[in-house]
Amino acid sequence: MKTEKRNSMLKVIFSGRMLVTLVMGFASGLPLLLTITVLQAWMTEEGVDLTIIGLMILVGLPYSLKFLWAPVLDRFTLPFLGRRRRWLLIAQLALILAIAGLGLTNPKNNPWIVAFAAFLVTFFSASQDIVIDAYRREDLSDEELGLGSSLYVNGYRVGMLLAGGGGLIMADHMSFSQVYLVMAACMLPGVLTTVLAREPVITAGTPQTMAEAVFNPLIEYFSRSGALWMLAFILLYKIGDTMASAMTMPFYLDIGFSKTEIGAVVKLFGFWATIAGSLIGGVIMLRMGINRSLWIFGFLQALSTAGFAVLARIGHSVPALSGVIAFENLSSGMGTAAFIAFMASITNKKFTATQYALLTSLMAVPRTVASAPTGFFAKHMGWVSFFIACTLIAIPGMLLLLKFAPWKTEEESR
């Protein structure tokens, strides 16, 4: 029996569906830093005024507002490929042209044309995200969502690493225009995957009117028992981890770590620890389910936040920093994978694009609102008290699991 279960798990892990999820994650993560880190470096090198560079962050608004046009992608279909893949192919081809077009602009002489081109990149990138999220929810079974979400997250991070780290390295050896053309070409594996992937089979039906596509996802969601508790959980599950992360860079520098130590341990070593955490989390979810994984990973997330308080007591110690970063990034990677899988699992397949876009937009709220006052708290509380407070803030989110994700299902309790 155990052998059969193990073989079944291996079959899922190495299935074509998981490969598609991984590549789609890569295609989703690649464009993000092209309008932030890489573009800022290019504009700085060209001598663009810092005020304009700062305002460029506004071109990222489509990522926060993507729920506004998600109903269109739920409602309308086009006469080629399948319902999801046709929109995905259009978004990806438009994204390739937008990235290449951004590379052909002149930041020094025409910064507002650069801004428009960058806006097109973020708009088509956000549109691609909408469809990829919907595709993943509809293509994978509930049992596969955990592993699929972890592979998506890892592909996303690799795409970000290629664009952010790789793009800046390449810019030392070629022009930024050439870098953007190379990055546009790196989107081609995503296009090929879209063409070759299967179209999800939807039995729940599709919206028949725009009114149904816009309003029915909200009506359907809020008609559920415990809908508001779920929204509260989405806001609170990672809030402690998010608040702590917002102040880690000043914290490292304040207790004496050099920028080289931070780059080597926090960025490079931490990146691979996060990748490992996502993969481990995906396999655990495949075995234990999403609900129990949320409990385990949430507890580990809170414990890892407390690790920064311990590091504040120890002070400058590279081995201690390495241990804290390894634990924090492993647990954060697992928690993120479970969180994304949970949000996908509670969407209705008839309105996947709209409901998931709304939930992910809500997920971003703590990153901006709750993180804003963290500098004030850290300044007046001190590092140890601040990180302990961030640990305790995780408790309400964990307690909400009792409401809709109990450790034992009703069937097991009986």
Domain coordinates in residue numbering, the chain? 2-201, 216-405
Quick: pLDDT tens for 307-353.
Answer: 999 999 999 999 999 999 889 888 888 888 888 888 888 888 888 88
- Do 216-405 and 2-201 fall under one CATH topology? yes
Answer with the residue of higher pLDDT: 180 or 258.
180
What single-letter amino acid sits at 36?
Answer: I
Tens of pLDDT, residue by residue over 365-396, are 666 667 778 888 888 899 999 999 999 998 99
For residues 341 and 145, the answer to whether their CB atoms sit within 8 Å is yes
Is the distance from CB of 71 to CB of 210 less than 8 angstroms? yes
Is 60 exceeded by the pLDDT of residue 412?
no
Q: What percent of the chain has pLDDT over 70?
A: 93
Q: Are 409 and 281 in contact (CB under 8 A)?
A: no
Asked if the model's pLDDT at residue 7 lies above 80, the reply is no
Q: With bands split at pLDDT 50, 70 and 90, how would you rate the model's confidence at 57?
A: confident
Identify the CA nearest to 12 among candidates 287, 198, 343, 331. 287
Rounded to 10 degrees, the C-alpha dihedral 358/363/365/368 comes to: -130
Q: What are the tens digits of pLDDT across the range 265-322?
A: 877 788 888 888 888 888 888 888 888 888 998 899 999 999 999 999 999 999 999 9
Mean pLDDT computed over 217-224: 85
Percent of the chain with pLDDT over 90: 28
pLDDT of residue 3: 63
Helices (H) and strands (E) in the chain, counts: 26, 0
CATH topology for the 216-405 domain: Growth Hormone; Chain: A; (1.20.1250)
Helix, strand, coil shares of the chain, percent, nearest 5, are 80, 0, 20
- Which has the minimum average pLDDT: 111-120, 144-153, 255-264, 404-413? 404-413
What secondary structure does DSSP assign to 349-389, as a single string?
GGGHHHHHHHHHHHHTHIIIIITTTHHHHHHHH-HHHHHHH
Q: What is the pLDDT of residue 367?
A: 61
pLDDT computed for residue 347 by the predictor: 86
Euclidean distance between CA atoms 268 and 273, whole angstroms: 9
pLDDT reported for residue 240: 86
pLDDT at 47: 86
* Distance from C-alpha of 179 to C-alpha of 193, rounded to nearest angstrom: 23
pLDDT for 307 equals: 93
- pLDDT confidence of residue 97: 97
pTM for the model stands at 0.82
Cα torsion angle, 263, 266, 269, 272, sign: negative
Of the two residues 155 and 248, the one the predictor is more confident about is 155
Alpha-carbon distance of 203 to 83, in angstroms, equals: 13
Q: Reduce the DSSP state of residue 73 to 3 states and report it.
A: helix
Q: Does domain 2-201 have CATH number 2.60.40.10?
A: no
pLDDT tens string 164-190: 888 888 888 899 999 999 999 999 999
Residue 119: pLDDT over 90:
yes
- Structure-token match 């234990």, residue found: 288
Closest by CA position to 214, among listed 68, 360, 76, 88? 68
pLDDT at 280: 86
| Cα-based angle 15, 92, 44 (whole degrees, multiple of 5) | 115
Query: In this structure, what DSSP letter does residue 238 have?
Result: T
Among 56-65, 88-97, 204-213, where is mean pLDDT lowest? 204-213
pLDDT score of 5: 57
DSSP state of 31: T
